[in-house]
Chain A
Amino acid sequence: MKGSEKLIEAIKQQDIQPVPKWQFSLKNGLAWAGFLVAVVLGAMAFSVILFAIQQTDFNMVSHLSHSRLEMFLGLLPFIWIVFLIVFLAVAFYSIQYSKKGYKFTAAKLVGFSALLSILLGTLFFIGGGGHQLEHAFAVNVDVYESLQQRKTKLWSMPEDGYLSGQIEEVSAEYFVLKDFNNKAWKIHYESAFIAPVVRLEKGETVKLIGKLASKDEFTAEEIRPWGGRGTRMRGK
């Protein structure tokens, strides 16, 4: 029996039917949907990373002791970096299994996915999405300690020389600061370096490096804005 006869006989006898077209379209659609979702989630993770970087004063590193450095590094958004990597891997995996995915090298696919996530993430961050997402995550996920919480912890150790809070009252020699535990501090700032973006006025939230002078007095050596670089320009 000829090979083609055997084949047609087998198809007819076993009643083998072609798989419907919609199943292939669905599979391809799912691959693309998976790619898009992963890119968007990656973009969101990236926007939080940008927000965290914005909240971290890297020029503080030189001031920190080893144990403080650990806390400082704790502000870095490792969990979001892991999320970004995971979403990039999912995006890569999804697009690789799309119809034409094999045409591109792994490096190109990862690069393309990363670029899309970075662009979208930057837009999301500029729109304030990074901050909101991080906040929403902190509110809704019990085990997650928000950047603000971790930052507040780091900057609420006056005995170690770190203090933060909101300015309540300003005079020529000192100002009154209410820390995040609602304790009022008298801050001496005559010889302090004041970052140019800081406005010493009521309502301004700042972080200070200096020395504890008494149980409610602190001598500031450096005064920096609480929110990190560039936040004032967007009114945060």
Chain B
Amino acid sequence: MVVPKEICDRFSELEIIQKALVEVDFFSCLYDRYEARLLRYIKRLAQVTDTEAEDILQESFISIWKNLYAFDQSLKLSSWIYRIVHNQAVSAFRKKKSYGRDEKVTWDDALNASIPDDTSLADAGEMQDIDLSLHEVLEQLPLHYKEVLMLKFLENMGYEEISDVLKIPEGTVATRINRAKKAFKSLAEAQHIIFDL
């Protein structure tokens, strides 16, 4: 049975983990807290459908549950959760790339999920256009550039968090972001799309 949101909200993430280790139901609080943004992240990164993204998220949370004692409290919990989800998403993306080269996934579903509920239809349309163009460019980038750009500009993470998610040194994160920005810019310019990163 899942724990109601109003009860979950009373606890910090670390308290939730401690409670979940005693009563597994509390683990649902963590899932609910991260579900929306992680689904959006998976869909953007792995180019999968809603259902596939949910499956990836389920698998990721089962892995998080199994490895709960591996969590290093000197890290931010969100970084650690993103790391596991990221790895699952990347492996799904690679599988999809190798087994379903002819399969096309539209971005519409993914985009709908990323638009806040209170956005007007006109705004939503405009955001969709921007998001679609952004994704078109992102899709053309190699994965190691795409992932740093997504974490930095779409998930708003700092260098240290990105370093913890991708398990690479901060210096490498900075270099990779710079290179990725250049690659992104030249691709966007070639397609007459203007973004200010």
Q: Which residues of A line the B interface, CB within 8 A?
A: 2-8, 10-12, 16-21, 23-24, 99, 102-105, 108
**Cα distance A2–B28 when bound, in Å?**
10
Complex CA gap A191/B81 in Å reads 80
Assess whether B163 is in contact with A99, with CB atoms less than 8 Å apart: no
Complex Cα distance, B90 from A226, in Å, reads 62
Contact A18 B58 (CB under 8 A): no
* Docked pose: A102 CA to B54 CA in angstroms: 29
B11 proximal to A (CB < 8 A)? no
User: Would you call B62 and A105 a contact (CB within 8 A)?
Assistant: no
Judging by beta carbons under 8 Å apart, are B65 and A18 in contact? yes
**Residue from the list A2, A16, A103 in contact with B62, Cβ < 8 A:** A16
Q: Is the CB of B27 within 8 A of A19?
A: no
A16 to B62, CA, bound (A): 8
- Chain B residues with a Cβ under 8 A of chain A: 1-2, 21, 24-25, 27-29, 31-32, 35, 54, 57-58, 61-62, 65-70, 72, 163, 167-172
Contact B70 A7 (CB under 8 A): no
Contact between chains at B2 and A8 (CB < 8 Å):
yes
Q: Are A103 and B2 in contact (CB under 8 A)?
A: no
A3-B57, A8-B24, A18-B21 given; name 11 further pairs at CB < 8 Å.
Answer: A3-B58, A5-B28, A7-B28, A8-B25, A10-B58, A11-B27, A12-B24, A17-B66, A18-B66, A105-B172, A108-B169
Query: Closest CB of chain A to B161's CB: distance in Å?
Result: 13
CB atoms of B24 and A19 under 8 A apart: no
Closest to A106 in B: B169
A3-B169 CB under 8 A given contacts A24-B70, A103-B163? no
- Assembly CA distance A18 to B62 (angstroms): 9
A106 → chain B closest CB, angstroms: 9
- When distances are taken between beta carbons in the complex, the residues of chain A under 8 Å from B169 are 102-105, 108
Known: A7-B28, A8-B25. A19 touches B67 (CB 8 A): yes
Q: What are 11 residue pairs bridging A and B, where the CB atoms are less than 8 Å apart in the complex? A: A3-B35, A4-B28, A7-B27, A8-B1, A8-B2, A10-B62, A17-B66, A18-B65, A102-B167, A102-B168, A105-B172
Q: Is the CB of A5 within 8 A of B66?
A: no
A5 to B3, CA, bound (A): 9
Residues of A within 8 A of B21 (CB): 18
* Cβ B65 vs Cβ A16 within 8 A: yes
Instruction: Please state if A21 and B57 are interface contacts (CB–CB under 8 Å).
Output: no
- Nearest chain B CB to A143's CB is how many angstroms away? 42
Most buried by A among B28, B32, B35, B163: B28
Report Cα–Cα, A16/B67, bound state, in Å.
11
Which of B32, B65, B163, B172 touches A11 (beta carbons < 8 Å)? B65
B60 closest partner in A (C-beta): A7
Measured CA separation A53–B109 after assembly (Å): 68
Closest Cβ of chain B: how far from A153's Cβ, in Å?
A: 49
- A4–B35 touching, CB < 8 Å: yes
Chain A's closest residue to B26 (CB) is A8
